[in-house]
Amino acid sequence: GEFMFFYLAKAVWFVLQPSTLIALLIGYGAILIWTGWARWGRRFVSIGAILLLVVSLSPLGNALILPLEDRFPRADLDRPPAPAGLIILGGAENRLVGSARKAPTLNEAGERLLEGAILAQRFPDAKVAFSGGDAGILYKSDSEAQGAADILTRLGVSRDRLILETNARDTYENAIYLKKELEGEGTFGPEARWLLITSAYHMPRSIGAFRQAGFDVEPWPVDYRTRGWQDFSKLFDKVSEGLRRVDTATREWVGLVAYWLTGRTNALFPSPDRTGGSQG
């Protein structure tokens, strides 16, 4: 069930992410060089080294992430009615460090919380729902929702506007559990506009999962990693940055396929026009 999917996804992804694969290729080749399989060892090391350079310094990471980031433009917030609620997806904090240091610790996706607070001020009547538990396996921290609540209230969002969902560990669970939570609160209805705030590259999978859960949300992408298509040919100046970009984008594409195969999204590559897949 859901439990197994979560752990299997984590384990499979650890081995399959491009940076790990390249490291394993070079490492395995380096061992083979000292055995009777030296020729294969040299091949593995050479292929691994070439891949390392191409994947980390070429614009591959940008080329992979751009279609994801540009898939959903931001919702038109000037047209009435005002949003009834804002949904902020977890993944913006390093809770492990944060709880140890007793300090707010935002990561690269910190704009999720920042924009959530900004929109909460712009729409003072909107509810602010946050979804995110502890997605760690090796290192357990407290629920991310707790940290998010602290940060949002310090940024001026009153506590009675917050709806916290503390159990979700992945995007599909975000959608399912949040819908349940909001139905319980009585704030979920067909007329109400709900904005979904998450990283731009993560928006297609998120919207697909929410649509599959029967929850029609409007996109508010944040945390852009590229300027747009002019970055299609932009080289990286750090090996680590290029590798990370490829890992991030590949994880999202693999996630879209996995969600499609397991019925967790309503379309392989969800689109704004909603005709690409059935609702519900």
Q: How many domains does the chain have?
A: 2
Q: Is 131 helix (H, G, I), strand (E, B) or coil?
A: strand
Same domain flag for 132 and 220: yes
Query: Which CATH number does the domain housing residue 130 bear?
Result: 3.40.50.620
pLDDT at site 251: 95
Same domain flag for 219 and 242: no
Same domain flag for 55 and 185: no
pLDDT at site 262: 93
Task: State both tokens at 188.
Answer: 């979920």
Within a 13 Å sphere around the CA of 267, how many CA atoms are in the beta-carbon half?
Answer: 18
- Domain end point (choices 174, 203, 224): 224
Question: Looking at the domain assignment, is residue 261 inside a domain?
Answer: no
Task: State both tokens at 114.
Answer: 């920042």
Length of the chain as a residue count: 280
Those residues of the chain that have pLDDT short of 50 are 137, 276-280
Same domain flag for 178 and 118: yes
Same domain flag for 25 and 141: no
Contacts 24+ apart (CB under 8 A), 138-141: 139/96, 141/95, 141/96, 141/98, 141/99
Question: Looking at the domain assignment, is residue 208 inside a domain?
Answer: yes
> How many other CB atoms are there within 10 angstroms of residue 21's CB atom?
15
Same domain flag for 137 and 209: yes
> Parallel, antiparallel, or unpaired for β 218-222 and 162-165?
unpaired
What Rg do the C-alpha atoms of the chain give, in angstroms? 21
Q: pLDDT (tens digit, 9 = 90+) per residue, 9-42?
A: 888 888 889 999 999 999 999 999 999 999 999 9
pTM exceeds cut of 0.75:
yes
Q: Which residues span the domain enclosing 251? A: 2-67+236-256
Question: Looking at the domain assignment, is residue 271 inside a domain?
Answer: no
Question: Looking at the domain assignment, is residue 274 inside a domain?
Answer: no
pLDDT at site 33: 97
